[in-house]
Amino acid sequence: MAAIRPTEATTAPWWRDAAIYQVYVRSFADGDGDGTGDLAGVRARLPYLVELGVDALWFTPWYLSPLADGGYDVADYRVIDPAFGHLAEAEKLIAEARELGIRTIVDIVPNHVSDRHGWFRAALAAAPGSPERELFHFREGRGENGEIPPNDWVSEFGGTPWTRIDDGQWYLHLFAQGQPDLNWAHPAVRQEHEDVLRFWFERGVAGVRIDSAALLAKDPALPDFVKGTDPHPYVDRDELHDIYRSWRAIADRYDGIFVGEVWLPDSERFARYLRPDELHTAFNFNFLACPWDPGLLRSAIDDTLAEHAPVGAPATWVLCNHDVTRTVTRYGREETGFDFAAKVFGTPTDLELGTRRARAAALLSLALPGAVYLYQGEELGLPEADIPRDRIEDPMHLRSGGVDPGRDGCRVPLPWSADEPYAGFGSTVEPWLPQPAAWASYAADEQGTDPGSMLTLYREALRLRRAEPGFAATPGETSDGRLNWLPSAPGILAFTRTHGLICVVNLSGSPAPLPEHDEILLTSVPLDGSGLLPDDTAAWLRRKR
Ligand code: NOJ
């Protein structure tokens, strides 16, 4: 049995350098054969996750939900969606994982709830101006007959974020229509979310991911958006910090941690969420969105470490998640950065090139100081799938009038066994999203015995990352930033960690000499004996002195 990594004074807290694996439950593994992934599927695959070598699992929302936005529309936080299982099973899963040395992180979506949530149903049934409506943002419309939305904001998914109901009032939803925004100025909203945190910490979870963490608070006047206005009417408002301070006090009682989804370009504003009495960590979207370019990657790494250092929070390194284009696809395109606005159908992709770069990027991100997030299927090198248009469920696609391909292409049910129906996902009927024809060729069972596979690379890298003290966070070292760049030729990223560890990545366009070393620990592709590191390749080395 693997042991939970200790947290006493001789080691840094686990979350400062953890490898955390994101489970999109609907598409991870189907335990009951009905076409949708579920908790039984996850429980059956825990040995796989142990062998992969991850420290924690982050589950995207598994609560009761009509799935208008893949579960980010929660109808009840205290009920597991019957498509996934039930509460007792979630408790079992949390306990079983913990026995195996794996912690659990759940996802809380405080900006909004589902339109089927009890509060919203009650608000619809109640009259304008009622206490039930005050939990949300209901307003009269503009125009002669109130037929124009109350303000000019734009939904994160496109179009107006206002929907009009039968009695003529409008309600605000920054995302889809089925996701009404909560009124965070209301004490009951704060109280309820604090209770939800306690509910899940009581069930043994080690952490909570906070969805859309910078969007909760709104200017109470809900004014039109004037570009450049400070503060913004709904992004990154100062009121948020008081909310997170009270959440932190709760988490501290359970030794729990937070990871915030905070997309903010301003480093100083971003770091405010990571002050010692607020969130422990936040996702690093600047690194995730960064093109495959040596200068830009180096700046993203330097900026990340510099912005975290003053608040003493560890960085996180993320290459992909359930919202963005899969890494092997993104790196195989002309535009290798990620931008929601740039997504279109039919972008030419060189998957061989993308996979080569993704292998190098895996070694880069796993060598950086801080915690790392892996998204299910990343370890299999899955590409973004083309989903037939009539099967796309993502509201981002639907609300764009069919222009945006949406996010379903990175949410396709995983291939586990090459020779089984539906690539071993476990379904006896067609899974909720169709799998591409080539999916079986990515199956985990075959990759597990192939020394050259992406899965073998991730397993070996995670094993070394755990075994080598040079990759670990150091107790008392608040920035976790022990990274020193080595002088190197243009296009080469090379840095040392402690204990003689070196990571080098070649983005120069031609083979390059390795930095001085005594031992090669791991390379993203086999070297040919010339002593040169090929282009788009990474190596982990050790120098003894
Ligand atoms: C961010 C989540 O990652 C995404 O999947 C979701 O659609 C939005 N927040 C809204 O909850």
Over 90: is that where the pLDDT of 222 sits? yes
Identify the bridge partners of residue 452 per DSSP, sorted by sequence position: none
- Ligand 1 centre to CA of 323 (Å) is 7
Output the pLDDT for position 8: 46
Output the pLDDT for position 377: 98
- Ligand 1 centre to CA of 107 (Å) is 10
Calculate mean pLDDT across residues 135-149: 98
For the CA atoms of 242, 245, 249, 250, the dihedral, rounded to the nearest 10 degrees, stands at 70
- Span 287-336, pLDDT tens digits: 999 999 999 999 999 999 999 999 999 999 999 999 999 999 999 999 99
Calculate mean pLDDT across residues 89-93: 98
Over 70: is that where the pLDDT of 477 sits? no
Calculate mean pLDDT across residues 166-188: 98
Q: Write out the two tokens for 408.
A: 């379903």
Over 70: is that where the pLDDT of 229 sits? yes
- Which atom of ligand 1 has the smallest separation from the CA of 396? 7
Is this prediction's pTM over 0.85?
Answer: yes
Pocket-testing residue among 175, 177, 393, 399, ligand 1, by greatest number of atoms within 8 A of Cβ: 175
Kindly give the residue spans of alpha helices, DSSP state H, lying in 23-86: 39-44, 46-52
- Which atom of ligand 1 has the smallest separation from the CA of 112? 11
Cα radius of gyration rounded to whole Å, the chain: 23
Output the pLDDT for position 482: 79
Q: Write out the two tokens for 529.
A: 């004996």
- Span 345-365, pLDDT tens digits: 999 999 999 999 999 999 999
Output the pLDDT for position 5: 55
CB 483 within 8 A of CB 305: yes
Over 50: is that where the pLDDT of 88 sits? yes
CB 370 within 8 A of CB 315: yes
pLDDT-based confidence at residue 481 (cuts at 50, 70, 90) = low
Output the pLDDT for position 1: 46
Residue nearest atom 10 of ligand 1, based on CA coordinates: 72
CB 104 within 8 A of CB 204: yes
- Ligand 1 centre to CA of 522 (Å) is 35
Instruction: List Cβ neighbours of 248 (8 Å cut-off, separation of 6 or more).
Output: 258, 277, 278, 279
Instruction: Please state, in angstroms and rounded to a whole number, the distance separating the CA atoms of residues 332 and 171.
Output: 42
Calculate mean pLDDT across residues 162-168: 98
Angle, vertex CA 424, rays to CA 451 and CA 81, nearest 5: 120
What φ, ψ does residue 357 adopt, rounded to 5°?
-70, -40
Pocket-testing residue among 211, 259, 262, 285, ligand 1, by greatest number of atoms within 8 A of Cβ: 211
- Ligand 1 centre to CA of 157 (Å) is 10
Nearest alpha-carbon partner for 262 in 316, 185, 312:
316
Calculate mean pLDDT across residues 149-167: 97
- Span 107-133, pLDDT tens digits: 999 999 999 999 999 999 999 999 999
Residues contacting ligand 1 via CB (< 6 Å): 69, 72, 109, 175, 211-212, 261, 322-323
Residue nearest atom 3 of ligand 1, based on CA coordinates: 323
Q: Write out the two tokens for 264.
A: 């903010």
What φ, ψ does residue 512 adopt, rounded to 5°?
-135, 150
Over 80: is that where the pLDDT of 62 sits? yes
Instruction: Please state, in angstroms and rounded to a whole number, the distance separating the CA atoms of residues 416 and 428.
Output: 14
- Ligand 1 centre to CA of 412 (Å) is 17
Catalytic residue annotation: 211, 261
Calculate mean pLDDT across residues 389-412: 96
- Ligand 1 centre to CA of 287 (Å) is 19
- Span 33-58, pLDDT tens digits: 999 999 999 999 999 999 999 999 99
Helix (H, G, I), strand (E, B) or coil at 484: strand
Quick one: what percent of the chain has pLDDT higher than 90? Answer: 94
pLDDT-based confidence at residue 228 (cuts at 50, 70, 90) = confident
Residue nearest atom 11 of ligand 1, based on CA coordinates: 72
- Which atom of ligand 1 has the smallest separation from the CA of 73? 11
- Ligand 1 centre to CA of 69 (Å) is 8
CB 399 within 8 A of CB 176: yes
- Ligand 1 centre to CA of 35 (Å) is 23
CB 441 within 8 A of CB 391: no
- Ligand 1 centre to CA of 1 (Å) is 35
User: Which residue has better confidence, 117 or 469?
Assistant: 117
Calculate mean pLDDT across residues 8-17: 82
CB 284 within 8 A of CB 318: yes
Instruction: Please state, in angstroms and rounded to a whole number, the distance separating the CA atoms of residues 350 and 332.
Output: 5
Pocket-testing residue among 109, 111, 338, ligand 1, by greatest number of atoms within 8 A of Cβ: 109
Summary mean pLDDT of the chain = 96
Residue nearest atom 5 of ligand 1, based on CA coordinates: 323
Output the pLDDT for position 480: 56
Calculate mean pLDDT across residues 227-254: 96
Pocket-testing residue among 323, 407, 411, ligand 1, by greatest number of atoms within 8 A of Cβ: 323
- Ligand 1 centre to CA of 451 (Å) is 36
CB 498 within 8 A of CB 470: yes
Tell me the CA distances in angstroms from 214 to 232, 240, 372, 435, one per residue in order.
11, 7, 21, 34
CB 120 within 8 A of CB 109: no
pLDDT-based confidence at residue 545 (cuts at 50, 70, 90) = confident
Calculate mean pLDDT across residues 236-247: 98
Calculate mean pLDDT across residues 429-453: 98
Output the pLDDT for position 450: 98
- Which atom of ligand 1 has the smallest separation from the CA of 72? 11
